[in-house]
Amino acid sequence: MAKNNLSEMRKLAPDHKNAFPDHPCLEYDCYYDYLDTLSDYHFDRWRDDSDSPDVDLSLKFRGKAIDNIMDEVLPFEREQSKNVYQNDIKAAAVAAWYLQNEIGSMAHVGYKQRVDPEKHPTLQKIVDWFEYAENVQPIIMEKNIGNWEGWHVDSHCGHPNGYRQKELHRVIIHLQDWQFGQMLFWGTKPIMQWRAGDCLSYDVRVPHVTANCSRYKRYSLRITGVPSKNTLTKVQQGGIINVDEL
């Protein structure tokens, strides 16, 4: 039975402690240091990733539908983007590190809304164009002014049990032109001056960081899924895709 009263919680604490799962991330000061171990990225700060095939900017979506894409996106309806469970080891590890480092809030990453084919027909066309084989998760991301995501390897890079899900693939498609103060770094590669419809596709093992220090909210479409052969071929070919003809 749930205990809402704090004194009741204190009585329960020892049992909760014993029930807390053991996990390899507890060996690290920061949960994200643990996630790094699931990636075979080089982690050399002085190496130049600008020509890395693992960070590909060669694919671009264009057309009238892209010029007007924000008409489809707005009004953006924020959905609950974080679920935290009792005995959630990741939440506990991240919260401990935040508190140690005097980071006041965990609500700085932004907001999500799942693509709805009725409301977002153009976005759905783009999602379908990629031909992901299964588990496709198309999400519109809203990054408010002041939002940031710390340096991390995506958690789907490796399973918490240690086995790697390399088959997952992820792309991010910008839905607006770049603004001064918006920044992305993928590995040691800075990314800026993008146009609406520009696609960033990357190997999930590459760590990255984002910050929106501009004067505007930033919207992008993130697609994660198990790629088909066609997905990988299309991404590798790059080029300009006219969305009006899809």
Interacting stretch for Fe ion, rule CB under 5 A, among 10-18, 32-40, 153-161, 199-207?
A: 153-161
Interacting stretch for Fe ion, rule CB under 5 A, among 11-19, 56-64, 69-77, 154-162?
A: 154-162
Could you give the C-alpha distances from 138 to 20, 112, 116, in angstroms and in order?
Answer: 33, 10, 9
Nearer of residues 122 and 147 to Fe ion, judged by Cβ: 147
Nearer of residues 143 and 234 to Fe ion, judged by Cβ: 143
Pairwise CA distance, residues 103 & 236, whole Å: 39
Query: Dihedral through CA 116, CA 122, CA 123, CA 128, nearest 10?
Result: 100
Please state the closest distance from residue 154 (CB atom) to Fe ion, in A.
Answer: 4
Interacting stretch for Fe ion, rule CB under 5 A, among 47-55, 104-112, 133-141, 147-155?
A: 147-155
Closest CA to 154 of 74, 232, 224, 96: 224
Nearer of residues 142 and 154 to Fe ion, judged by Cβ: 154
Nearer of residues 122 and 210 to Fe ion, judged by Cβ: 210
Q: How far is CA 110 from the centre of its chain?
A: 10
Residues in contact with Fe ion, shown as a per-residue x/- string from 103 to 132 under the rule CB under 5 A = ------------------------------
Which runs of E-coded beta strand occur in 52-154?
A: 55-56, 59-62, 111-114, 134-143, 148-152
Residues listed for the chain: 246
- Residues that contact Fe ion, how many (by CB under 5 A): 1
Nearer of residues 154 and 198 to Fe ion, judged by Cβ: 154
CB 135 within 8 A of CB 226: yes
Contact between 142 and Fe ion by CB under 5 A: the answer reads: no
Closest CA to 50 of 209, 220, 185, 182: 185
Please state the closest distance from residue 77 (CB atom) to Fe ion, in A.
Answer: 22
Please state the closest distance from residue 139 (CB atom) to Fe ion, in A.
Answer: 12
Contact between 154 and Fe ion by CB under 5 A: the answer reads: yes
**Which residues 6+ apart lie within 8 Å of 92 measured at CB?**
20
Contact between 203 and Fe ion by CB under 5 A: the answer reads: no
Please state the closest distance from residue 241 (CB atom) to Fe ion, in A.
Answer: 24
Beta strand pairing status for 148-152 and 134-143?
unpaired
Question: Of 66-85, which residues contact Fe ion (CB under 5 A)?
Answer: none
Tokens 């977002």, residue located: 120
Q: Is 62 helix (H, G, I), strand (E, B) or coil?
A: strand
Please state the closest distance from residue 155 (CB atom) to Fe ion, in A.
Answer: 8
Interacting stretch for Fe ion, rule CB under 5 A, among 3-11, 146-154, 185-193, 221-229?
A: 146-154
Q: Which residues of the chain form contacts with Fe ion (CB under 5 A)?
A: 154
